[in-house]
Amino acid sequence: MRQYRFLTCDVFTDTAFGGNPLAVLPDAAGLDDRLMQAIAAEFNLSETIFVLPPADPAHTAAVRIFTPATELPFAGHPTVGCALVLAALAGEGGAEALVLEEKAGAVPVALARDAATGRPLATFTAPRLPVLSTEGLPPAPVLAAVLGLEAGEVLTRLPLAPAVCSAGVPFCIVPVEPQAIGRIRLNPALWEAHLQAGPAPHLYAVALDDPQRPQSVRARMFAPAMGIAEDPATGAGATALAAWLDRLMPAVADDTVTLPVVQGVEMGRPSTMHLAFDRRAGTLAAVRLGGTAVMVSEGTLAVPD
């Protein structure tokens, strides 16, 4: 048996047993794809992240990210959680910035302190700008039925309308009435019939506090294709959402939009992701997402030779 150290943390929260749990293997050298997938299935968390030596020595580490069912090219809560775990392991005087090599590209992460709580804060810049499309999108009444809602509870008037958005992982962004988001109940049979084989099988339902000038977003994410019935916090989804919000709030000059994305409330694991995106000359130029984490456990995993 080979021994591998692991740590778990709850990400996008400052309270233990809130947020989105993550398993981190800080030294995963020697594990192949099959074992990484098996370990992720064993932890059975939304994601498990494996830390490896970087291809570029100027970077901090290479990482591999697995859900219980598949590998992801990029994910937000593993990026934030891994950066905070590595910073904690480095101790005082560690780096103020990291670069993690993910399959979607190199992801820079800034480390600081949360102004409200004083907890360590990690903020990454997305390796790809999110893009928006409506190709292959099921009709809004179908999306409503998949979510267990009435047809009129999915918003359809542009720019408040469903779209496919991706910053490496495609999500079907579905805007719903605020009073409906807590009543969503995914219909697995309808999901399989209408979304499983489509361009964006992962559903990211969102509700705005103000559709004209939103100051915050409520979200829920459902990804049966990843082996995730519902996710407490989806950084890749919130990053992709920037493209949809950019369409909603067009800019004609340089600006930066910042707002919290709150997820996981209905699961009893409330999470807050701090989303920011820059526009330059009215065009989306950069997307950042940040949050805090709470260390929960550590131990040793015995892996068969």
- Provide the whole-model pTM: 0.95
**Model confidence pLDDT, tens digit, residues 280-289:** 998 999 999 9
Q: Between helices 235-248 and 76-90, what is the axis angle to 10°?
A: 130
- Element containing residue 273 per DSSP (H, E): strand 271-280
* Amino acid (1-letter code) at residue 197: A
- Phi first, then psi: give them for residue 268, nearest 5 degrees: 75, 20
pLDDT of 251 reads 84
Domains of the chain: 2-124+292-303 (3.10.310.10), 131-290 (3.10.310.10)
Mean pLDDT within 5-34: 97
Using an 8 Å Cβ cutoff, are 18 and 11 in contact?
A: no
pLDDT band per the 50, 70, 90 thresholds, residue 265:
very high
Among 201, 208, 242, CA closest to 223: 201
- Determine which one of 47, 101, 153, 230 is catalytic: 47
pLDDT of 8 reads 98
Among 234, 210, 240, 238, CA closest to 222: 234
pLDDT of 280 reads 95
pLDDT of 116 reads 80
**Model confidence pLDDT, tens digit, residues 184-226:** 999 999 999 999 999 999 999 999 999 988 999 999 999 999 9
How far, in Å, CA of 180 to CA of 226, rounded? 25
**Exposure pattern of 54-81 as b/e (b: 16+ CB <10 Å)?**
beeeebbbbbbbbbbeebbbbbbbbbbb
pLDDT of 253 reads 86
**Model confidence pLDDT, tens digit, residues 98-136:** 999 999 999 999 999 988 888 899 999 999 999 999 999
How far, in Å, CA of 216 to CA of 294, rounded? 23
Distances (CA, A) of 276 to 157, 240, 258, 291: 25, 12, 4, 12
Tally of CB atoms within 10 A around 28: 24
- 266 is a catalytic site residue: no
Mean pLDDT within 164-177: 97
Mean pLDDT of the chain: 96
How far, in Å, CA of 203 to CA of 22, rounded? 21
Mean pLDDT within 155-175: 96
149 DSSP β-pair partners: none
**Model confidence pLDDT, tens digit, residues 27-84:** 999 999 999 999 999 999 999 999 999 999 999 999 999 999 999 999 999 999 999 9
Which residues have C-beta within 8 Å of that of residue 33, sequence separation ≥ 6?
A: 71
